[in-house]
Structure 1
């Protein structure tokens, strides 16, 4: 196995922090907080390069008046970089990820982090799909680009009016955040867009499924509007112990943050969490949609297929860190997980509104950083993620890229070895 340099390890730690979910908040205590802060600061410096630019944070105006507040009651924020030239009337919005919180305790812990408070948010480095470098982002580099920060813990869909829960002051206002931020962006030029693209990573990718048609409805009919979810197609699958850990977790999130009122009504009678999975939501989406996912999504393997409680002997520890360290039995289970995803997506192979890029790399989000478009980006049929997405968005070709099974794609190893 190729040893990864410090920059790659730090990068993965930062991705783990910014995109993670179940159980992560439990580590935030004492020395772990200081160590994590060091890693985040150092890795953010590494990520800032000639291909990226630091973009200031804009706090939402009239946040309190609109009831649009982060978990701690602070105003939510976003980063806006204006477009230029031919891209001046095109808008790309990216919903930040960061998992979910399913208990008051875990949501309260988020209040002391950027995932629950704008007090801890700083400038953001725009790379990948947000980059202004045409070499790194050939189709969207000169668009108006927005990163909407994630500070509600329920994929921008919580909706609890009270600010006190069992004696804890906390705000579950994700739906209000979504509505208020989009409303403000409309006044800043989004309403005059000729084309718009709503994207999101991880929990933000799930939010893109939830809000795609709502976004379409807010813009004039003549505007070209499409959506993309990156690493957001979470599967409703059993873990290795036979439990449906992720579904149970989602049910807790839905109950805690009153998400149910904004979910599809036709499946709420059985189990609310079913309506929180993309395989249900996508059936009703009318707006053109692109699904970007790894068939071996590293976050899902660690939290959906093999959550901590399902592996008391810790026999999956090495495999969950690096797919190259999985034994033959583990690989067989991973292949089954891949097939579960492909079986669901098979229903959309002939749907012209749906685009896909499903590779076999051991990654989570791929729109941010080098996986998007670089010499070491993963490829399918010699196309990078960025090239495939651009081809689909601009109708250059029908894009249904489904990779062969692990370990067949050598470009995955190139990307993972940095």
Structure 2
């Protein structure tokens, strides 16, 4: 079977961490726009922050065939927040040279988007957008995007790191719309700009235009299109997956559309914060989304929107409220102690011990998250304290009930390929609903190590236990009693 180069693309929709810019001042001026669409900037690694510098044209001769290469949307009216050209800014045509005798086995398009570990989330008024622009400009502008990058985890073209999809064709779209990929609002002309209208919010339009561009590059001949995302990008998948499926059908494409949601399954914050939302720290996710929907002209899945009365549409931004209204197959990956969910409650593991209230909150979070995933068909949820999974280079190491994520995704893929829906024999021993039953943070032995949020250094086991509020003296006494047969 001949597989076209552009049949698979992957859009990473970035981290969900809110900005903690306590000392920043609003009112920063937008950065300079780069050159015309198609202009590319200097080469850096996947997680490097590109330094400011001159804009260059053309691909360097040393770029590897498997590197992702920068491109922009054809529609120049669709932009990042500051008016600079938007993605699919990073593009890969799969590994162009495969070992002799090896053929591409997938015809998949993966949409994945965002900037991992740099914070994603959103801005929802002039003050928070100005602050975001000053501190993390590449989440609002393409001016300093890298020219090429290498993917890791499920974005990797190396078989040993990404055995199931290493030979898929991938498109990576950085997050620069600050609207959880829901916006449909261009900036107003300067003469008419008011308090909240100097930025564009076009996240949903970026995805729509990307699909349109890729349709002319062979996308319509793909067998499977997978829209994937991490954190805010995971929420973006939930918000856009039905529209992507509908758009591809309208374009005449005959394929299966799927969604992969990594760390984008959030619960509403229970603690009341200031409804005025003077900054992102003091604003709850619910209030931020309520304000953001108006600012962005947010596009909400129609079935979910119709279910809630006017003013309650914000509920559709939460996976456990939206999931039942979606018909597209979805796989949800979610840590049961998600760091970004905990930061909403100002819980930072490392640096100080947790209070009894915080410990209780973490236990309740585990119960609520687990319960919210009960009716999700395909899910991988370890009892770990972390954030984002599928773009980690060691993503295959994590397991739930003895099953790796890589294997669970293969099982899910296999179930979707099975033409005989009534036969489960082929799926025996191949589960893809995997949720940890142990309810302590890090009780899963495959969990990634804890990191001190202040120093970014890994914690030893004893330090981690102390950070989680464990009484070390009592633990030592209990251990001694056990050794003595007590």
TM-score normalized by the length of structure 2: 0.68
Q: How far is 1:294 from its partner?
A: 0.6
Structure 1: how far apart are the matches of 2:383 and 2:352?
12
Q: How far is 1:190 from its partner?
A: 1.4
380 and 236 in structure 1: CA distance in 2 versus 1, 3 angstrom threshold? same
Tell whether 2:333 aligns with 1:285.
no
SS at match of 1:198: strand
Q: Of Structure 1 and Structure 2, which has the larger fraction of its residues in helix?
A: 1
Q: How far is 1:152 from its partner?
A: 0.7
324 and 392 in structure 1: CA distance in 2 versus 1, 3 angstrom threshold? farther
Return 5+ residue gaps in structure 2 as ranges: 1-13, 26-43, 50-64, 96-102, 276-282, 416-426, 452-457, 460-486
**Which 4+ residue blocks in structure 1 deviate beyond 6 angstroms?**
240-244
Q: Which has the larger radius of gyration?
A: 2
Structure 2: how far apart are the matches of 1:242 and 1:248?
9
108 and 414 in structure 1: CA distance in 2 versus 1, 3 angstrom threshold? closer
Residue number in structure 2 paired with 1:247: 286
Residue 343 of structure 1: which of 352, 364, 371 is its match? 371
Residue 171 of structure 2: which of 118, 133, 146 is its match? 146
TM-score normalized by the length of structure 1: 0.78
Q: How far is 1:55 from its partner?
A: 1.9
Q: How far is 1:289 from its partner?
A: 0.6
Residue number in structure 2 paired with 1:22: 18
Alignment of 1:13-412 (within 5 A): 19-25=15-21, 44=47, 54-64=67-77, 68-78=78-88, 79-83=90-94, 85-87=103-105, 89-96=107-114, 98-111=120-133, 113-122=137-146, 123-163=148-188, 165-166=193-194, 169-219=198-248, 222-239=254-271, 245-259=284-298, 264-303=305-344, 306-307=345-346, 316=347, 320-322=348-350, 325-348=353-376, 354-373=377-396, 377-395=397-415, 396=427, 397-403=430-436, 404-407=438-441, 408-412=443-447
Return 5+ residue gaps in structure 1 as ranges: 1-17, 30-40, 47-51, 308-315, 349-353
Please say if residues 230 and 262 of structure 2, whose CA atoms lie closer than 8 Å, have aligned partners that are also in contact.
yes
Deviation track 1:80-125 (CA, whole Å, cap 9, x = no partner) reads 2113532463322213261111111222344461111111211333
- The size of the alignment, in residue pairs, is 362
Q: Of Structure 1 and Structure 2, which has the larger fraction of its residues in strand?
A: 1
Structure 2: how far apart are the matches of 1:334 and 1:241?
19
Structure 2: how far apart are the matches of 1:323 and 1:190?
48
Structure 2: how far apart are the matches of 1:45 and 1:170?
26
SS at match of 1:259: coil
